[in-house]
Amino acid sequence: MKNIPASWPSPPQNLTLGAEEVHVWRVELNQSAQCVEALRRTLAEDELKRAERFYFDSDRQHFIVARGALRTILGRHLGAQPDQLRFVYSSHGKPALVGDCGFDAIHFNVAHSYGIALVGVTRVSEIGIDVEYVRREVEHLSIARRFFSSGEVAALYALPADLRQEAFFTCWTRKEAFIKARGEGLSYPLDQFDVSLAPDEPAALLSVRGCSTARGWSLRSLSPGPGYAAALALEGEACRLACWQWSAYLMHNNP
């Protein structure tokens, strides 16, 4: 499957989330002080406490923007006020909406890296998303040997040297998206399943040790901007994917 273009459009006013659609929102985390404060007011007490644990102001503000943007996006799709949404968390920390208002019919996931966040939303099934900034100083080969499967390591070394760093981050984001969709985090060993990673290969979950799980999942590559790698994992067949740019106007377009 082809990557999504790096230039993401603003959503239409009458945007709806169809039963067989996946929407991914790109959020710029560097926002004005006024925007950060407006988003902070939508957060729950536990989110505010998490924000206060960040040592640097920039990290605190990025967390507030990511969580507040998530709330505005979900609120728009659900026809609810952002500050009225309540979350529960799995044993591995994956958030979900409290289902007593019928909000359990929507699935979502969030990832952020180096000033941007991606929010994936769907009514289809469980979803996972990951984004990473391609850092040149990362010892990608040693990390791959430690965490990737033997097949993925072999595929990485088979590539020309100038393509290996990009392929490493492609592989990493696809693996992270898959385990996040499963809700297991890094408790699920990264070397127990294989994903495609070569630049000319479509995103795919190739195999999962000991079961046929790979047949029930689809992967998509995303292009959030130059210098980033990102991926989306969805339980089930691939659905129609739309990508949107989040902006502060969403705060004023909820019920």
Question: Is pLDDT of 171 > 80?
Answer: yes
- Bigger pLDDT: 7 or 38? 38
How many domains, in total, are found in the chain? Answer: 2
Query: What pLDDT, in 10s, does the model give residues 41-85?
Result: 999 999 999 999 999 999 999 999 999 999 999 998 888 899 999
**Residue 80: CATH number of its domain:** 3.90.470.20
Least confident range from 111-115, 121-125, 209-213: namely: 209-213
132-140 long-range Cβ contacts below 8 angstroms, 24+ apart:
132/169, 132/172, 132/173, 132/176, 132/228, 132/229, 132/230, 133/227, 133/228, 134/165, 134/166, 134/169, 134/227, 134/228, 134/229, 136/165, 138/165, 138/168, 140/164, 140/165, 140/168, 140/169
Shared domain for 142 and 185, answered yes or no, is yes
Residue 5: pLDDT band (50, 70, 90) is: very low
Please check whether residue 14 lies inside any domain of the structure.
no
Shared domain for 74 and 150, answered yes or no, is no
Collect all residues with Cβ–Cβ distance below 8 Å to 122 and sequence separation of at least 6. Answer: 17, 21, 22, 23, 106, 107, 108, 234, 239
Question: pTM for this structure?
Answer: 0.91
User: What was the pLDDT predicted at 217?
Assistant: 86
Query: Other C-beta atoms within 10 Å of 153: how many?
Result: 17
Please check whether residue 35 lies inside any domain of the structure.
yes
Query: What pLDDT, in 10s, does the model give residues 173-220?
Result: 999 999 999 887 667 789 999 999 998 889 999 988 866 566 678 999
The residue range of the domain holding 209 is 131-235
User: What was the pLDDT predicted at 249?
Assistant: 66
Pick left, alpha or beta for residue 58 (phi over 0 → left; psi -120 to 50 → alpha; otherwise beta): alpha
Residues 127-150 have a mean pLDDT of 92
- Bigger pLDDT: 5 or 35? 35
Shared domain for 49 and 110, answered yes or no, is yes
